[in-house]
Amino acid sequence: MKKILVVCAAITLSCFLVRAQEAEDTGRGAGLSIIPRLDAGILHSDETSFSFGNTSLYTLFEGNITENWSFSVANHWGASDWGGTSFEDGILTPTADLYNLYLPFSGESGNNFLDWAYITYAPGSWAFSLGKMPLIVGGFEFDEYDFDVNPMTTTLFWNTFTVYQYGASAAWTTPNEAHTFTAQVAANQFNNSVGFGVKWNGQIGPWSTNYSVFMSKYARPWASSDAFLPIISIGNRLDFEPFSLTVDFMNRCGDPYYTTTDLYGYTLLATAAYAPSESFDLSARFAWNDAYFELTDSYENYYTYSLQGNWYPIDNLRIQGCAGMMDEDFFATVGATYTFEFKLW
């Protein structure tokens, strides 16, 4: 779906500078990207079903107001998802759940076409952001735009967490630009409360880190009170071009997919990638989801193995495909994504 921006404004600012050309004297510039994606796929379980995969339409509008002020707005105007009766017991919920909007302290929610819209002030090594933005959760899995993702290969956490909420963040980057530390306060995805998060993005030689802790109010309907529980994400990546290995591990005590019972569980995602050139990349992925239900004293877990590839025959065009197994079910999808880019000023 979209490359969820790491909510370190210092890092997102670099994306702004690439997509929105900066004027020589004023530092002003803005660009609009229109990104349609078309997929077709199958799932074979007890019977074979068809899906449009991650077929979707997105727009990105971002740029610089002045040398230190920047903005980013992302919208999803239409999307298909894999949810349906083919997935027994709701193992994979529709990706539309990603777009649940919880109005701050209102107790009301609903889907919204606006993924994020925030402004960033970046004086020197500091960056301050305000608006609707991704929460500080997840590891490297959450660093991709949504329209770049094959949902069948992701974890349960990615498919269920309502990541886009209103909030504010502050980030500081070390003088050598090797480390960025971010703090965030935001509306909680569980309504009527505030969430708090901290994140460390680091670069130490070939080793990259994406560690975060987000304190989230968790509804406990079978207990006498709610509780603030930490969503802990530990992302590690080793880069030895053209190879890379990424391992994300997170607890899922705050996963809203399980709002009807106490949950103690974990998610692990491992990705081995090979990118011999800018026009082609290939990756193998293993996802493990484990959950324990206190109410029923039972476990639920499943595994996903997948292989995916991307080919870029010309500028702005990507041909993508993936295939794999989710437990004993086979899935496969192929498609294409094109990015239309317009410089506005």
Residue 3 counted as domain residue: no
The pLDDT value recorded for residue 86 is 33
Q: What pLDDT sits at residue 81?
A: 56
Type of residue numbered 10: A
Look at residue 1 and tell me if it is in a domain.
Answer: no
What residue ranges of the chain have pLDDT lower than 50? 1-25, 82-98, 100-109, 220-224, 254, 256-263
Asked whether residue 150 is assigned to any structural domain, the reply reads yes
- Contact assessment for residue 112 and residue 43, using Cβ atoms and an 8 Å cutoff: no
CA dist 3 and 176 (Å) reads: 25
Residue 24 lies in a domain: yes
CA distance 112 to 81: 16
Q: The domain that contains 147 carries what CATH number? A: 2.40.160.10
Name the residue range of residue 154's domain. 9-343
pLDDT of residue 8: 42
Model's pTM, two decimal places? Answer: 0.80
In a domain, 106, yes or no: yes
pLDDT of residue 161: 73
Q: Is residue 301 included in any domain, yes or no?
A: yes
Three-class HEC string of the chain: CCECCCCCHHHHHHHHHHHCCCCCCCCCEEEEEEEEEEEEEEEECCCEEEECCCCEEEEEEEEECCCCEEEEEEEEEEECCCCCCCCHHHCCCCHHHHHEEECCCCCCEEECCEEEEEEEECCCCEEEEEEEEECCCCCHHHHCEHHHCCHHHCCHHHHHCCCEEEEEEEEEECCCCCEEEEEEEEECCCCCCEEEEEEEEEEECCEEEEEEEEEEEECCCCCCCCEEEEEEEEEEEEEECCEEEEEEEEECCCCHHHCCCCEEEEEEEEEEEEEEECCEEEEEEEEEEEEEECCCCEEEEEEEEEEEEEECCCCCEEEEEEEEEECCEEEEEEEEEECEEEECC
Question: What is the predicted pLDDT for the residue at 215?
Answer: 84
Task: Determine how many CB atoms are found less than 10 A away from the CB of residue 239.
Answer: 15
| pLDDT at 275 (0 to 100) | 97
Question: Exposed, middle or buried: residue 202 (CB in 10 Å: 0-12, 13-18, 19+)?
Answer: middle
Does any domain span residue 4?
Answer: no
- Split into its structural domains, the chain has a count of 1
